[in-house]
Amino acid sequence: MSSRYPQSVSILDVGPRDGLQNEKQTVTTANKIALVEGLAAAGVRRIETGSFVSPKWVPQMADSADVFAGMQRQEGVIYSALTPNMKGLENAMAAGADEVAVFGAASESFSQKNINCSIRESLARFAPVMQAATDNGLRVRGYVSCVMGCPYEGDIAPQAVADVSQQLRDMGCYEISLGDTIGTGTAYQTNKMLEAVSRVLPLDAMAVHFHDTYGQALANLLIALEHGVPTIDAAIAGLGGCPYAKGASGNVATEDVLYMLNGLGIRTGIDMDKLLDATQAISDVLGRAPVSKAAQAMLAKR
Judged by the rule CB under 8 A, the positions of this chain that interact with a copy of itself are 1, 183, 185-189, 191, 212-216, 218-219, 221-223, 226, 242, 245-249, 253, 256, 259-260, 262-265, 289, 292-294, 296-298, 300-301
Which of 146, 150, 173, 242 is the catalytic position? 242
CB of 276 to a copy of itself, least distance (A): 13
Distance CA 11, CA 257 (A): 9
CB of 289 to a copy of itself, least distance (A): 7
CB of 159 to a copy of itself, least distance (A): 18
Task: Give yes or no for a contact between 60 and 35, defined as CB atoms under 8 angstroms apart.
Answer: no
Q: Helix/strand/coil (H, E, C) string of the chain?
A: CCCCCCCECEEEECHHHHHHHCCCCCCCHHHHHHHHHHHHHCCCCEEEEEECCCCCCCHHHCCHHHHHHHCCCCCCCEEEEECCCHHHHHHHHHHCCCEEEEEEECCHHHHHHHHCCCHHHHHHHHHHHHHHHHHCCCEEEEEEECCCEECCCEECCHHHHHHHHHHHHHHCCCEEEEEECCCCCCHHHHHHHHHHHHCCCCHHHEEEEEECCCCCHHHHHHHHHHHCCCEEEEEHHHCCECCCCCCCECECEHHHHHHHHHHCCCECCCCHHHHHHHHHHHHHHHCCCCCCHHHHHHHHCC
CB of 218 to a copy of itself, least distance (A): 4
CB of 191 to a copy of itself, least distance (A): 4
CB nearer to a copy of itself: give 208 or 260.
Answer: 260
CB nearer to a copy of itself: give 257 or 285.
Answer: 257
Quick one: which of 156, 89, 90 has its CA closest to 119?
156
Annotated catalytic residue 242: yes
What's the residue count for the chain?
302
CB nearer to a copy of itself: give 101 or 225.
Answer: 225
CB nearer to a copy of itself: give 129 or 272.
Answer: 272
CB nearer to a copy of itself: give 57 or 188.
Answer: 188
Check residue 152 and give left, alpha or beta (phi > 0: left; psi -120 to 50: alpha): alpha
CB of 215 to a copy of itself, least distance (A): 4
CB nearer to a copy of itself: give 173 or 258.
Answer: 258
Residues with catalytic roles: 242
